[in-house]
Structure 1
């Protein structure tokens, strides 16, 4: 489930009282990239009354940027996962394969819940 408080915390300041990161999956996009897209979308919403056409174009552009960033992040995550298990002997590397399977399951589940 989306945690707005955790998503808005900058990477340089660890969340929580003890300085630990909150439990849960790592965000798919870096916080700076997410923040930039959120600001663009917010700007579009705030300027809609004065310039609806321009606001919609900006919102569409923010959506396109978010989509592209997400696809790129997912492709990179897949590349890293694949490199970790492809070409390994399944018998001797079963623990690593199990971890890769968990990661595939986790990220696929997140996509299906979105």
Structure 2
């Protein structure tokens, strides 16, 4: 059974025209090259299952572990960056700057909830 890697690499469905209207937000949680590497690794695991089921599962588990570790690292870095952007600022920091940080926290959290 062949794994369709192209389907796995496609972004989640967005409503028509939504991408053009979105305000700039936080960066993607995974750099595309790292995401693609994990997708290829998972594809190899699926493609080799019939010949070597145990090795295939070990490869899939390793891909999962790699994705989880990269996700934790990416989230920690985004949190550090956001936190540094507002924590310890002058109490008179513009409301717009604080609102931007709030919006970025919301966008990241919503991404997590859609996983």
Q: Distance in 1 between matches of 2:48 and 2:89?
A: 54
Q: Distance in 2 between matches of 1:51 and 1:60?
A: 14
Pairwise CA RMSD: 2.0
Q: Distance in 2 between matches of 1:40 and 1:4?
A: 12
Q: Distance in 1 between matches of 2:106 and 2:60?
A: 31
Q: Aligned with 2:56: secondary structure?
A: helix
User: Which protein has greater RCO, CA pairs closer than 8 Å, 6+ apart?
Assistant: 2
Q: Distance in 2 between matches of 1:48 and 1:39?
A: 14
Work out whether 1:47 is the aligned partner of 2:73.
no
C-alpha spacing 1:53/1:5, structure 2 compared with 1 (3 Å) = closer
Q: Distance in 2 between matches of 1:6 and 1:113?
A: 13
State the Cα distance separating 1:95 from its structure 2 match: 1.6
Q: Aligned with 1:87: secondary structure?
A: coil
Count of residue pairs the alignment pairs up? 98
Q: For structure 1, which runs of at least 5 residues remain unmatched after alignment?
A: 8-21
CA contact (8 A) 2:46 2:56 kept: yes
Q: Partner of 1:99 in structure 2?
A: 100
Q: Distance in 2 between matches of 1:89 and 1:62?
A: 44
CA contact (8 A) 2:30 2:71 kept: yes
The TM-score, its normalising length taken from structure 2, stands at: 0.77
The TM-score, its normalising length taken from structure 1, stands at: 0.78
Q: For structure 2, which runs of at least 5 residues remain unmatched after alignment?
A: 1-7, 13-18
